[in-house]
Amino acid sequence: MKITDVSVRSFVWDKPKPIYNGKYTYRSNVFNLIQVDSDDGIRGYGWGGGTAAMRPGGMHQALVDHFKQALIGEDPFDYRRHWDAMWEPKIVGRRGMTTHVLGAIDIALWDLMGKAVGKPVHKLLGGYRDRIPAYIAGGYYEEGKGLKELAAEMEENLQLGAKAVKMKVGAVPINEDVERVRVVRDAIGPDIKLLVDANNAYAAYQAVELARKMEPYDVFWFEEPVAPDDYRGHARVAAASTIPVATGENEYTRYGFRDLIAQDGAAILNPDAQILGGITEFMHVASLAAAHDLHIAPHGAQEIHVHLVSAISNGLILEYYRETVDPLRGQQFTDKLELDSDGMVGVPDRPGLGFEPNFDLLERYEVGPGSSA
């Protein structure tokens, strides 16, 4: 089995109205789809760039054209060698879009390998469990969305079976956000886990103030309280409050997580395979975390991370998105990952990642060469 081609297709669709968190506003969804083809006729898919900050364009195509030189004619099962061949920090950079694209290619290779042997990715990685807990991510700010609407969103999450929910902070004054946290806690009751995410909105002293004021509301974790590279700031927030700090969605490769862990900056790590360098690198990070007795709760892309959380002994919980974040959530693939009444998801047993793009829908939103958009 040999790799014959690597290509990218891009799709963009608008949100009904913009949503925003402590730092960023999202007006559309971007779906950059990597396709890896083999001489056996099997195609693997990987994807990334799911926000307006990662708009498609010539850079994606140029990066794919660069990386695929190391892959054409190669056996996809030599994935570790391929990762090292693509990872040329002096040439392509150690962070940012280049690592996103490398990661999407690596994800596609895992999908291809799973399809080739008829096994789901989590089994290739060494399956650890068949069902995993999940939380519904949301609680964004929107125009016209007040406390009543925020509470209603969280109540809808409970009706879907959620036993854990996440909300945003950081876009309004601290005391106003504390009141939003109180309202959500009242709406969900005492037995549901409440996760709070600042998306790097604060300086450390501000994050400490908010953390201490949130303590009465039994917050399960305080996510990304400060800038991604402020490892010491994360440690200051962690030391100043009883609320565990979670971070890592904007961290890159095992080396970044090595430095984050060394600063005692987080009790829970949120690596994202789409950002940090793919599934191959994610597994390095998971092992590094396990060596420090740290839990892994990945950020983003439930269709990918369901396989990764379920394949590791230190997997904690899966992030799960619904249509309140993305209007096509649940439609962009031919299968949908469903939350059950216990707030758990079953791990797919279909070959590869088990989620094929729904091109009948997606092609309406395709942009770039060959598209009608």
**Domain harbouring 297, CATH code:** 3.20.20.120
Is residue 128 over pLDDT 70?
yes
Least confident of 82-91, 106-115, 212-221, 230-239: 82-91
Q: How many whole angstroms separate alpha carbon 342 and alpha carbon 326?
A: 23
Same domain? For 217 and 73 the reply is no
Same domain? For 134 and 277 the reply is yes
Could you tell me if residue 354 is inside a domain?
no
Could you tell me if residue 315 is inside a domain?
yes
Average pLDDT (14-42) is 93
Distances (CA, A) of 313 to 57, 125, 273, 286, 297: 39, 12, 17, 9, 12
Could you tell me if residue 316 is inside a domain?
yes
Average pLDDT (37-44) is 97
Q: How many whole angstroms separate alpha carbon 204 and alpha carbon 206?
A: 5
Same domain? For 71 and 146 the reply is no
Same domain? For 53 and 184 the reply is no
Average pLDDT (362-373) is 74
Could you tell me if residue 312 is inside a domain?
yes
Q: How many whole angstroms separate alpha carbon 276 and alpha carbon 299?
A: 11
Average pLDDT (5-17) is 93
Query: How confident is the model at residue 107, as a pLDDT?
Result: 98
The rounded radius of gyration (Å) of the Cα atoms in the chain is: 20
Q: How many whole angstroms separate alpha carbon 373 and alpha carbon 371?
A: 6
pLDDT tens digit sequence for 309-322: 999 999 999 999 99
Could you tell me if residue 373 is inside a domain?
no
State the total domains in the chain. Answer: 2
Catalytically annotated residue among 115, 122, 166, 168: 168
Domain residue limits at 49: 3-117+359-367
Same domain? For 185 and 322 the reply is yes
Is residue 50 over pLDDT 50?
no
Same domain? For 109 and 177 the reply is no
Could you tell me if residue 302 is inside a domain?
yes
Catalytically annotated residue among 163, 299, 305, 307: 299
Same domain? For 79 and 222 the reply is no
Average pLDDT (15-31) is 91
Could you tell me if residue 262 is inside a domain?
yes
pLDDT tens digit sequence for 54-108: 455 567 888 899 999 999 999 999 999 999 999 998 888 788 888 999 999 999 9
Same domain? For 9 and 113 the reply is yes
Same domain? For 76 and 144 the reply is no
Please indicate whether residue 299 is annotated as part of the active site.
yes
Which CATH number covers residue 49? 3.30.390.10
Same domain? For 127 and 112 the reply is no
Same domain? For 143 and 111 the reply is no
pLDDT tens digit sequence for 139-171: 999 999 999 999 999 999 999 999 999 999 999
Same domain? For 105 and 127 the reply is no
pLDDT tens digit sequence for 326-347: 889 889 999 999 999 999 999 9
Could you tell me if residue 313 is inside a domain?
yes
Pair 217, 182: CB distance under 8 Å: yes
Alpha carbons within 13 A on the beta-carbon side of 70: 18
Is residue 29 over pLDDT 70?
yes
